Chain A
Amino acid sequence: MKVKADILAQEQELLAVFAEVRRDNQTLRVEGLGHRLQRPAGEPATRSYSLTGWNDIVAYHPADLVVTVEAGMSVKALNRILAEHGQWIPLTVADGQDDTVGGAVSAGLDGIWRGGYGSFRDRVLGLRVLTPGFGAIQVGAAVVKNVAGYNLSRLFFGSRGTLGIITQVTLKVSPLPQSRRYWAWEGSLSEMSAKANDLMGWATPWAGIAFIADPSQKGTRLWAAWHGVAETVDYLAATKEPGSPDLPLMTRPWKPGAVTLKGAVPRKTVQDVIGVWENGLLAVEWQSGGFLGTLSEEDAPRMENWIRERSGGVAVLSGLHEDLPVPPALMPIWKRLKDAYDPQAILG
């Protein structure tokens, strides 16, 4: 566990980098494990700073179900520590990649457990952020319930480091399930949709119910997971079909060079989005509408529009640069925020 003096020294180092970047008329890009980078063409002079060395536990009291970690610790590394106490952060991204905790927050990631455990965004209780405008600030608190002041965690989650550099994250953790089992089926989209509805009719929430569409394979794959007490899992195993031993998610890696989109669609359009997603891998969680998928650079913008027209949320996760998507009506507010938090525009 890192001590206060070391943390403050690290922060001073990064604040000094802010000053150097400002002096040299550069911009600063903070990097985690590098899976989710967007590299704009003709990028201006940019200085990189890796946060992967900031990877210690800051505070962890298992009885409180709350942990504070440095932003550079990976989710898998964190979960190894939490598992020693029978706990975990239910964040598994559908492409199987590991991410730093800070990167996951900054990119607004979510994963296959969203339907059963809620969104990753809702787990973020607090952040420590280095901002060019205000220096180091703590937002939120290390307790599961808190409405003191504005919920600035929501400002930084998904903002891709454009307002400040997240250096610590406080998360609500969950108990590891006593027992778990996975199932997988293959068939037509309508057959699998009927199957998913059948699962929902039996009980809710499932830990995850995901559709996997892969253009190289015929049909659609349906995957389901139940987390709970042994009695339920045994009952399901006896009545539903034998389970699968592992997470049967992505059967092949993402195609290099493809654009990755992430987001969610309204539940009513889950089946539709699978139907219109052409020539790319797609994983959609049935209960929440959360998705992750790849497309070509030509198809990605079309799909983004399709999703927004149906009141879904979508953002480019990797492979293609786009400015932070801000609704036009909120652009004046965004500009005032950017001016206050990053007055010299040294961040992204």
Chain B
Amino acid sequence: MNEAGVEELKQAVGPDFVLTDSMDLLPYSCDAYTLAQEAPAAVVLPGNTAEVQDVVRVLRSHHVPFLARGAGTSLSGGATPLNGTVIIHLSRMNRIIDIDTENQVVVVEPGVVNADITRALAPLGFFYAPDPSSQQACTIGGNFAENSGGPHCLKYGVTVNHIVMAETVTSEGERVVLGNLAGEPDAIDWLGLAVGSEGTLVIATKLWLRITHKPSESQTVLALFDDVNEASQAVSAVVAAGIIPAALEMMDRLAIYAVEKGPYRVGYPENLAAVLLIEVDGESREVHTMATRVQVILQKHLVREVRLAATPEEKNLWWANRKTAFGAMGLISPQYYVQDGVIPRSRLPEALERINEIGRRRDVRIANVFHAGDGNLHPLLLYDEHDKEMVRRVVDAGSEILAVCVELGGSITGEHGVGIEKREDMRRQFTESELAAQRALKHAFDPIDILNPGKLLPTASTCHDENAVIGTYPGRESTGE
């Protein structure tokens, strides 16, 4: 970024809101995916939509790539600047503008922290459903970009199901409103395309979020297992019985060991193989009936103990214990690398066995903390960054785990996104024809590839692809019968 460009940026947002000093830029070198780091050319902090438009136009006129960033909690490198990218940091745009209970929407700026929205809604009897584990820090603009999930997405859906309208700025600096208050596209769902596009299509500057009536009651069941395979089968049994819990989470032995060292210790018995945490919510009669049925189903498996939370405090402790599981890895390892594959939930036992085998073979300790109800695995691969050979083994093991997910009929990412991390793994899931179709979407929105370039898609292949015309068979063999 040359001096003239920096001056223009300062004119656009004010001199205090353009960072160019190398010490100021250092914290922006990566997001929560720390395996790739690169300092941005500059950081700009606009205060409103018009300033975002001005900044985009300045950067475009200087042919400087740019990306939008929130709290930097992305786990796949989506907010990591590459090749002289300028970061547009949206932290100043952090107001909850309006709560409209009649239309059941809350209007927010992108820098609002996820958990603050539900806190603001609670007195009115509503909540905002997507609750990623980082919800105390992550911003709603980042949730928009990544289509974030969370434990309660099993019943309530992910971010794309809860954003009805968005004011956005295009790569050309135009303000475009996607969607409407009704949450109903006239035809093509432009908003649905933008959500989860990892900041490569548009920058969201204002969001209208769907809010949900707080359920009148919820109950949480905890099940302690001596056999992880039994726990996996119990997950399938609950869902197969026609019960859709609000959340259905699982931790394995190493994960339990870590969380019990953290601040929210439940006091789990020694030598547990797995813990299931199951929450049901809704109308009170529905909840009581479902919670009873869940306990009956669990008892049909080899479960050591089934508990029903007796008090709100006990329930909150169980959830705090689970939600801090990623951070707890820091108590048992210098670093950890979290993966995010998805499998059909009926393949859970097989997937966990394969992950364990990969860990044994590659000599990598792997803890599993995951959204079992929707088959979204989060293997946590433990390592020491000073051991370069170990880092290589960890990265290879992570990629191999994703290959297993695709082989079992799943996906390389359920909620963390592709970012930098899984660009090349996209080839595991999609043919060149399918990737070309995705590139066409990127090109349609951003023909000069200036908005968060180098993310989400692998570099185009020039190799001949024998599947280019007929593609591949859906379900990838494993789901067909």
A126 to B434, CA, bound (A): 13
Q: Which one of A12, A176, A228 contacts B283 once the chains associate, using CB atoms below 8 Å?
A: A228
* Size of B's binding interface in residues, CB under 8 A: 98
Q: Is the interface of A mostly helix, strand, loop or mixed?
A: mixed
Q: Are A61 and B346 in contact (CB under 8 A)?
A: yes
Segment at the interface with B among A47-55, A72-80, A240-248, A308-316: A308-316
Q: Does B472 contact A (CB under 8 A)?
A: yes
* CB within 8 Å for A152 and B438 given contacts A175-B244, A267-B102, A313-B180: yes
How many A-B pairs with Cβ below 8 Å? 291
By the criterion CB–CB under 8 Å, are B417 and A147 in contact?
A: yes
Flag if B187 contacts A326 (CB, 8 Å): yes
Cβ of B165 within 8 Å of any chain A Cβ, yes or no, is yes
Q: How far is the CB of B296 from chain A (nearest CB, A)?
A: 14
Report yes or no: B286 in contact with A137, Cβ–Cβ below 8 A: no
Complex: A185 Cα to B350 Cα, angstroms: 52
Q: Are B434 and A137 in contact (CB-based, < 8 A)?
A: yes
Q: A149-B430, A150-B193 in contact; A1/B411 too (CB < 8 A)?
A: no
Which secondary structure characterizes the binding site on chain B?
loop
**Which of A25-33, A210-218, A329-337 faces chain B?**
A329-337
A155 and B441 within 8 A (CB): yes
Which chain A positions have C-beta within 8 A of B15? none
Q: A168-B474, A330-B176 are in contact. Are A314 and B445 (CB under 8 A)?
A: no
What chain A residues lie within 8 Å of B438 (beta carbons)? 149-150, 152
- Closest Cβ of chain B to A4, distance in Å, is 5
B161 touches A154 (CB 8 A): no
With a cutoff of 8 Å between Cβ atoms, the chain A residues found around residue B375 in the complex are 64, 143-145
Contacting B at CB under 8 A, from A184-214, are 203-205
Whole-angstrom distance from the CB of B198 to the nearest CB of chain A? 8
Instruction: Give the distance to chain A from B88, nearest Cβ to Cβ, in Å.
Output: 21
Give the nearest-CB partner of A3 in chain B.
B480
- Interface status of A46 (Cβ within 8 A of chain B): no
Residues on A with C-beta less than 8 A from B161 are 118, 122
Asked if A15 is at the interface (CB within 8 A of a chain B CB), the reply is yes
Structural contact, B184 and A264, CB atoms closer than 8 A? yes
Within 8 Å CB of B165, what residues of A?
A: 311
CB distance from A9 to the nearest CB of B (A): 10
| A63 and B236 contacting across the interface, CB-CB below 8 Å | yes
Is the Cβ of A8 less than 8 Å from the Cβ of B437?
no
For residue B47, CB closer than 8 A to chain A, the reply is no
Smallest CB separation, B305 vs chain A (Å): 25
A340 close to B187 (CB less than 8 A):
no
Per the bound structure, the CA–CA distance linking A135 and B466 in Å amounts to 12
Given the complex, which residues of A lie within 8 Å of B187, measured CB to CB?
108, 158-160, 315, 324-326
**Which residues of B sit under 8 angstroms from A334, Cβ to Cβ?**
188, 444
Given contacts A65-B239, A68-B475, A143-B344, contact A289 B213 (CB under 8 A): no
Q: Known pairs A141-B411, A146-B413. 19 more at Cβ < 8 A?
A: A61-B346, A63-B239, A68-B474, A134-B437, A135-B469, A135-B470, A138-B431, A145-B374, A145-B376, A147-B416, A148-B418, A151-B197, A158-B185, A203-B282, A263-B182, A263-B184, A263-B186, A333-B445, A341-B437
Nearest 4 interchain pairs by C-beta: A313-B184, A175-B242, A154-B192, A264-B184
